[in-house]
């Protein structure tokens, strides 16, 4: 078999192997979505706009808020776009570069001779020899990229969840502050009547004015925090602040589910996609470094093989194989080896750093969750009942003129402050729970087995108790409390 036949067979094999390489289905999006779904974050398959329109028909809950974010978040869409570049790299790794055709035309300096023609058709033999290794490395890199995008899905879902809890909590706290501001205004009206009647001093009246202004300022700050929280949630959802979309008005009460720290830490090692991607990249770089070391004796350039044809000036034709190879006389690709070792060392350190960070994140989020739940329980079972009892006793003492109305009002304000503290603790619980889920990298064990009741402000704010005597009337509504028994301005000296 002559050289031309051997070259023809080599080219045929190369084209056949190259043509067998296939592109990832749907640019790998399906595999990415499966990774997220396995971890409890199902990516909507419907069209974004149609899904959003259907979800926004009702007030958003935490699950529907996450669904809108996964369908509409612009940063997540940009992460998906990276799959296209990764698919292109994978496609290129499964192909051999096109052969290069070179043509030469040389004019002789004698009129009795013809022009000399030369043709060279050269392809990369290195591409053919390393095709399997390049496809293996590119496949591993694309798998790591899919894990990165999957981690971005989980991060977006957690961000939407946290922003949702922040916004709903901000709405609840703003509602309480509005009631306190209205109560403060009522208190100031009462103080003004007392002051006009000469029953309180200018100092006491000034204190009432200052307390009212402070409550109004706190209410304005709460409204501002609510608007800011809506803006953060709108950014994550990919919606506008001024849109008509709404959320539920109440956060759920803390769940009774308990989570073992050791089990959560072990689960995080198996579930965290960013950790898996970091490990895959370190393994890929190690594989690439071994390949570079094996090829270092070939020099920095690659083998090129091809077919050369020349027609001499006397009409003779020459044809045969051509080979190009850089002789590694001065360099054996040490720079690539050094770079590969440095990249591998950096990737290994990054993986080790992330491994420690994952464990620390789980521990910290677990501690936050336990602390927030304990705080919420203390507010619910101890502090709020104690504040209510204190208001009851203060009401009785005020009815028998043992204390003044302003002491009663301050006691009532302490009661309302305990409501705000409870709502903040509930918010912190759900934020910590979302943070723990993100730290673990998947749904928490036992999720969905129990349903939490919503925190009902109306249930916290007691209704007036019926009574036949004005002096025994009682209400936890601050306005009613401060109006009680003072429908007319008191007379001086009364």
The predicted pLDDT at position 47 comes to 58
Q: Is the pLDDT of residue 478 over 50?
A: no
Give CA–CA dist 150/277, Å, rounded.
10
**How many Å from the N-terminal Cα to the C-terminal Cα in the chain?**
126
Say whether 57 sits in a helix, a strand or coil: coil
Report the CATH superfamily, name and number, of domain 3-21+40-479.
Outer membrane efflux proteins (OEP) (1.20.1600.10)
**Local structure of 60: helix, strand or coil:** strand
Tens digit of each residue's pLDDT (9 = 90 or more) over 370-401: 999 999 999 999 999 999 999 899 988 888 88
> 10 Å Cβ neighbour count for 21?
16
213 pLDDT more than 90: yes
- Going by C-alpha positions, the residue among 161, 458, 464, 150 that lies closest to residue 280 is 150
Under the banding of pLDDT at 50, 70 and 90, the label for residue 204 is confident
Burial of 181 (0-12, 13-18, 19+ CB in 10 A): buried
Q: Which residues pair with 100 in a beta bridge?
A: 122
Identify the residue with better confidence: 447 or 284.
284
Q: List the structure tokens of 451.
A: 């349903």
Largest CA distance in the chain: 138
- Average pLDDT, stretch 300-317? 73
CA 225, 229, 230, 234 dihedral sign is positive
Q: Where are the domains of the chain?
A: 3-21+40-479
pLDDT in tens, 23-41: 666 788 999 999 999 999 9
In terms of pLDDT, which residue wins out, 297 or 173? 173
Distance CA 104, CA 115 (A): 10
In angstroms, rounded to a whole number, what is the distance separating the alpha carbons of residues 3 and 16?
20
Q: Provide the CB-side half-sphere exposure for 192 (13 A, CA).
A: 9
Asked whether the predicted pLDDT for residue 18 surpasses 60, the reply is no
**Is 381 or 257 the better-scoring residue by pLDDT?**
381
Q: Is the pLDDT score of 463 beyond 50?
A: no
Give the CA angle between residues 484, 485, 487 to the nearest 5°. 90
Burial of 119 (0-12, 13-18, 19+ CB in 10 A): middle
Nearest CA to 427 out of 158, 160, 167, 248 is that of 167
Instruction: Please tell me the total number of residues recorded for the chain in this structure.
Output: 494
Average pLDDT over residues 148-173: 96
Residues ≥6 apart with Cβ < 8 Å to 441: 39, 154, 267, 268, 271, 272, 273, 274, 275, 358
39-57 mean pLDDT: 78
Q: Which residues pair with 318 in a beta bridge?
A: 310
Asked whether the beta carbons of 363 and 262 are under 8 A apart, the reply is no
Which is higher by pLDDT, 464 or 191? 191
With contact defined as beta carbons under 8 Å apart, do 25 and 323 qualify? no
Which alpha helices (DSSP H) does 61-201 contain, by range? 62-72, 74-93, 125-129, 131-197
Closest C-alpha among 103, 104, 102, 97 to residue 123: 97
- The per-residue pLDDT of the chain, averaged, comes to 82
């Amino acid at each position: 078999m002559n050289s031309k036949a051997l070259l023809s067979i080599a080219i045929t094999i190369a084209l056949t192997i190259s043509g067998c390489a296939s592109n990832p289905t749907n640019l790998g999006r399906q595999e990415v979505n499966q990774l997220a779904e396995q971890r409890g974050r199902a990516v909507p398959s419907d069209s974004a706009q149609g899904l959003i329109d259907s979800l926004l028909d009702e007030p958003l809950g935490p699950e529907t808020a996450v669904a809108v974010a996964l369908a509409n978040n612009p940063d997540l869409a940009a992460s998906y776009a990276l799959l296209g570049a990764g698919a292109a790299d994978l496609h290129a790794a499964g192909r051999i570069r096109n052969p290069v055709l070179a043509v030469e035309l040389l004019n002789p300096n004698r009129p009795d001779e013809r022009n000399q023609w030369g043709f060279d058709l050269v392809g990369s033999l290195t591409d053919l020899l390393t095709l399997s290794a390049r496809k293996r490395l590119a496949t591993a890199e694309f798998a790591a990229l899919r894990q990165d995008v999957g981690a971005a899905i989980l991060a977006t879902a957690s961000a939407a969840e946290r922003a949702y809890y922040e916004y709903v909590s901000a709405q609840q706290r703003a509602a309480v502050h509005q009631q306190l501001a209205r109560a403060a205004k009522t208190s100031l009206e009462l103080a003004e009547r007392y002051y006009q009647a000469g029953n309180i001093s200018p100092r006491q009246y000034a204190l009432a004015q200052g307390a009212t202004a402070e409550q109004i300022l706190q209410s304005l700050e709460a409204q501002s925090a609510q608007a800011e929280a809506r803006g953060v949630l709108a950014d994550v959802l990919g919606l506008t602040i001024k849109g008509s979309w709404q959320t539920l008005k109440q956060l759920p009460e803390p769940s009774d589910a308990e989570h073992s720290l050791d089990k959560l830490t072990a689960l995080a090692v198996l579930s965290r996609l960013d950790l898996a991607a970091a490990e895959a990249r370190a393994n890929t770089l190690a594989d690439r470094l071994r390949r570079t070391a094996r090829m270092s004796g070939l020099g920095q350039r690659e083998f090129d093989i091809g077919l050369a044809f020349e027609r001499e000036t006397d009409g003779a034709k020459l044809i045969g194989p051509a080979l190009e190879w850089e002789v590694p006389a001065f360099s054996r690709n040490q720079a690539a080896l050094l770079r590969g070792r440095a990249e591998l060392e950096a990737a290994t350190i990054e993986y080790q750093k992330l491994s420690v960070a994952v464990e620390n994140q789980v521990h910290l989020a677990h501690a936050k969750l336990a602390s927030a739940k304990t705080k919420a329980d203390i507010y619910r079972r101890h502090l709020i009942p104690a504040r209510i009892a204190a208001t009851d006793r203060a009401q009785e003492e005020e009815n028998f003129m043992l204390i003044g109305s302003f002491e009663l009002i301050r006691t009532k304000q302490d009661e309302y402050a305990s409501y705000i503290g409870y709502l903040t603790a509930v918010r912190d619980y759900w934020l910590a729970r979302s943070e723990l889920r993100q730290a673990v990298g998947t749904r928490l064990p036992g999720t969905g087995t129990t349903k939490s009741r919503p925190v009902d402000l109306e249930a916290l704010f007691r209704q007036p108790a019926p009574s036949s005597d004005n002096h025994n009337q009682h209400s936890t509504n601050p306005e009613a409390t401060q109006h009680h028994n003072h429908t007319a301005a008191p007379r001086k000296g009364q």
